[in-house]
Structure 1
Amino acid sequence: MQSLQEKASEWSGVAAGDAFAIDDGNVFQVLGGSTQPFVDLSTNFYNRVYEDEEEWFRQIFAGSKKEDAIRNQYEFLVQRMGGPQLFSQRRGHPALIARHRPFPTQNQNDEFFQAHCILPCCWE
């Protein structure tokens, strides 16, 4: 039976070793040691999510307040990129797979998510 980590690697196409390469640097410090870039990125991202024209996609997030989603994401990103442990202090271990288990994940959703939300918000 595959571990959750192996499934994540298989589904994402990213080897586990490559996924954890982020641990070798400190992106938080490279970006000036401020939470603001992560707040801006997360705000832009979730504005796109909550305003998306596709009803089925918006419904995935209907049970979450946008402000909470923004805070959870930017605190997680700050922590993961080498900054203070904001997410863990407030919510405990990130446990991403377990936290996202209730959400429908299919290749269609993942591709839509990346094409319409993740990639565009990184260049605005």
Structure 2
Amino acid sequence: MQRYRDSASARKSYPIFEKLDAQIQRVTATFARLKTRGAVVVQDLFGGEILKTRTGAGMHFYNRIDGERHDLTLSQFDEPIQFDDVASTRDEAFADTSDAQYRALKEGLDLFCRGLLRPG
């Protein structure tokens, strides 16, 4: 079976790829806007706790799952941050996120976990 996803010209000839590409671009843009809100979606999918740390840009939210810190969006920082590991809540982490933004972010993380979306 020919692998169409490896060829840009082949991708253009199949409308399904255009739709998928548009969806991936939308999800990627949502990730960029909602970097600090990924902790809520990670908790939905994997459980654990939501933690927070104060940074120069405000509060940064991330997760602790089975005793291990997981920060989906650590790459947004130019310099290493000092983690305070302060317990937080879903409501606090979700405070400035709309339902539509949340759904788009959850869809993006689901695609990423299934290997259909690569970061960057």
Could you tell me the TM-score, scaled by structure 2's length? 0.31
Could you tell me the TM-score, scaled by structure 1's length? 0.30
> Per residue, is there more strand in 1 or in 2?
2
